[in-house]
Structure 1
Amino acid sequence: MLDSVKNIRAVDRKGMMSLIGKMPDHLSEGLRRGRRTGLSKFTSKNIVICGMGGSAIGGDLLKAWLTDSCAIPCEVIRSYAVPSYVGNDSLVIVASYSGNTEESLCMLEDARKKRSKIVSISSGGKLADVASASSIPHARIPTGLPPRATIGYMFGAMVGVVERVGAAKPDKQVEESERILAKISELCGPAVPTLDNPAKKIAHEMFGRIPVIVGHGASAPVAKRWANQLNENAKCLAFSSELPEMDHNEIVGYSSDPRGKGFSIVFLDKDAGEERMTDRIEATIDIVRCHAQAHSIESSGSSPMSRMLSLVMLGDYVSVYTAVLNKVDPSSTEPIERLKTILSKK
């Protein structure tokens, strides 16, 4: 099934696979647009990223990337209001691909009342209109894409924003990430046979089981991204978890419940952390294998950004190949649209 480009295109009719392959270009263009927001240097006490769904995951990645390079606390908020600690010395990044996300617009208004330093990111919509009317710096990204396919634009724009205000310096990490992502696109493309294609191999290994993606440190938000992409693209149940916390609860269930045979547990970046974390992951794999399928996947690159984004792109490919195996259109998200329609009538 996965070794036929014709079969893949028959399922992926709207070209989600091709959008994944454009991630390196999206990253560099997003960075340029974030840098062009006109922001000046600003010393903030905290960075708050406001968004939902595919627009917020870029914030999760930014927070993880900033952890080791920025002394300013960073938080991602998925709600209707910003936290009480947000004030006029906060940098608030409001991200909504459509520009019409209800929660994001509410958080924007809340941050305005607190006189925070605000920058917005969208492809247009009400968010862009409010930004224009209120002289809020705005990074506009291209329209017409599924929000989850704009991760390169969103993350790149956020990096450009924090660089612009002086909170972080990406240095050569973006350039390395672009090279690594281009290489992954070559390795994981639809024309590459399963034998040589890591994304196809993983999709086959997980097929028929419920995936649980486990991250640690900077790979924790990547695990969430994998699960979300499998939910939306492959239309399957998938969950994420984080080490070392997993070893204080979930490990008991996987090692004791025979229903664990229905799960495929994927551990991300086993060898990227401290030696103690590598030892922990290896021991955890040995224990959960009593009932569940378990294996690990490594990142690519030498910088924190490239390692993180390489796993994001690999997971995106895996989700579409899983969609092909499930024979479902990866672009469709009908339940989400149905929910929006119901809520709009309330």
Structure 2
Amino acid sequence: MFDDTLLDDIDAVERLDRRGVLRALATSGAQVRVSARSADEAGLARLADMQPRGVVVAATGGSGAVGGLFDTVTRRHSAVPVQTCRSTPLPAWVGAYDLVVAVSQSGRAAGTLALAAEAARRGANLLTVGVADSPLADVCARAHGTHVPIDGAGSSSRAALWAQATPVLMAADALGLAAIGRETIESLADVLDEQARRLGPRVESWDNPAKALAAEVSESVPILLGCGPLGESAARRASAMFGRTGRVPVAYGVLPDAASQIVACFDGPLASSEGDDRVGRGIFADPFLDGVTSRPLRLIVLRDASTDGGGYSAVTDAVVAAAEDAGVRVSVIDATAPDPLLRLAHHVAVTDFAATYLALGLGYDPGDSRHVRLLRDARPTDPAP
């Protein structure tokens, strides 16, 4: 059972969050600033002289969200093909005229190491992001590439998204594949700082959107909906965080394509209009006399609430109206920043904190899973560089 009172008990939260996931999420703004300085010192600006035929972003596990983010921010501006890669082999077309960006916080992720080593063997240009003095940094040095060192201490790759993503975003700008200037990077850090202040553990549940969302997810069968390409990255990240960190699977879709798929669920057995007792949700329902009740469907919308709504305002409003007509409860997370990357950061912050609070409210350590540990022996070992 979800215990929402636990979330306002700082001592209890600190006892459960043994790996400091909340603390790491609160440093997201600082992650951006520190990684931006590291990228400058590594000479990332030199990429402006490079004109790759194509770009592949190799990132696996908790770092995988970086690849999706790079793909979405470059989609509108890039004149060269961009592809993400989560497992070997590299695409067959990758060669000496291409750039491979390999990201691993620890610098030891087996899949990312294998992809970087393969890129080096093919003579591709290599940009790597990870801790210094790691196997990934060594692969990059041998290939005469550019390595951006980041801090890998004290947090998982899931909680260090922005430390890993910032050099990659700056690389996209330097290559001319996206328009993400230094002002945007500074604003990104500021947005993440502001979200940490309003979503942190010392902000009580009645005034904390992330704690409220965690409680709503715990009581429902949630469907999460993003808007457009950057909304897709935010929704995919949220789905992964609710599963991996929060221990609750969350399906997701993206507007406009998924509108019909989502709305059709409002006619199904998990949704009921007022007065429909098929799922036994009446306020006087007794689970002993009436049987076990099903959890109700809930729609979670990561809404683009900027001036033009990103072009998705009408379809978003239609989906929300359909949910309300069907008696489906709706949680709307609005982001109003003028820059789409900043709106994505807002959505990611809320859902990252919510997934962490979900685990804590259920009594789990958000940074550790016994069954995930069981997978480690089944995974391939790190390849030799």
Tell me the TM-score normalized by structure 1: 0.91
Tell me the percent identity.
20
Correspondent of 1:133 among 142, 145, 157: 142
Correspondent of 1:179 among 171, 177, 190: 190
State yes or no: 1:77 paired with 2:85. Answer: yes
Specify the alignment match of 1:237 in structure 2. 249
Secondary structure of the structure 1 residue equivalent to 2:312? helix
CA apart distance, 1:115: 2.3
CA apart distance, 1:250: 4.1
CA apart distance, 1:173: 0.8
State yes or no: 1:333 paired with 2:369. Answer: yes
State yes or no: 1:35 paired with 2:40. Answer: yes
Specify the alignment match of 1:4 in structure 2. 9
Structure 1 alignment gaps of length 5 or more: none
Structure 2 alignment gaps of length 5 or more: 272-294
State yes or no: 1:207 paired with 2:213. Answer: no
Supply the distance in 2 between the matched residues of 1:184 and 1:131 (Cα, whole angstroms).
35
Q: Is the 8 A contact 1:234 1:330 kept in 2?
A: yes
Supply the distance in 1 between the matched residues of 2:176 and 2:310 (Cα, whole angstroms).
33
Correspondent of 1:18 among 18, 23, 42: 23
Q: Is the 8 A contact 1:24 1:178 kept in 2?
A: yes
Q: Is the 8 A contact 2:126 2:140 kept in 1?
A: no
Specify the alignment match of 1:321 in structure 2. 357
CA apart distance, 1:69: 4.0
Correspondent of 2:227 among 207, 216, 222: 216
CA apart distance, 1:135: 2.2
Supply the distance in 2 between the matched residues of 1:195 and 1:327 (Cα, whole angstroms).
20
Secondary structure of the structure 2 residue equivalent to 1:245? coil
State yes or no: 1:97 paired with 2:133. Answer: no
Specify the alignment match of 1:269 in structure 2. 303
The list of structure 1 runs, each at least 4 consecutive aligned residues, that deviate by more than 6 angstroms after superposition, is: none
Q: Is the 8 A contact 2:116 2:139 kept in 1?
A: no
Supply the distance in 2 between the matched residues of 1:77 and 1:342 (Cα, whole angstroms).
21
Residues 180-222 of structure 1 show CA distances to partners (whole Å, capped at 9, x for unaligned) of: 2111111111111222211112112222223332112211111
State yes or no: 1:56 paired with 2:64. Answer: yes
State yes or no: 1:158 paired with 2:168. Answer: yes
Q: Is the 8 A contact 2:140 2:147 kept in 1?
A: yes
Q: Is the 8 A contact 1:42 1:166 kept in 2?
A: no
Residues 105-137 of structure 1 show CA distances to partners (whole Å, capped at 9, x for unaligned) of: 222233224322111111253212222233221
| 1:300–1:31 Cα change, 3 Å | farther
Supply the distance in 2 between the matched residues of 1:96 and 1:336 (Cα, whole angstroms).
18
Q: Is the 8 A contact 1:267 1:296 kept in 2?
A: yes
Supply the distance in 2 between the matched residues of 1:186 and 1:343 (Cα, whole angstroms).
38
Specify the alignment match of 1:279 in structure 2. 314
Supply the distance in 1 between the matched residues of 2:87 and 2:57 (Cα, whole angstroms).
11
Supply the distance in 2 between the matched residues of 1:276 and 1:219 (Cα, whole angstroms).
12
Q: Which moved more, 1:222-231 or 1:38-47?
A: 38-47
Structure 1 vs Structure 2 CA RMSD: 2.2
CA apart distance, 1:20: 0.5
CA apart distance, 1:51: 1.0
CA apart distance, 1:156: 0.6
Q: Is the 8 A contact 1:52 1:103 kept in 2?
A: yes
Matched residue count: 344
| 1:136–1:276 Cα change, 3 Å | closer
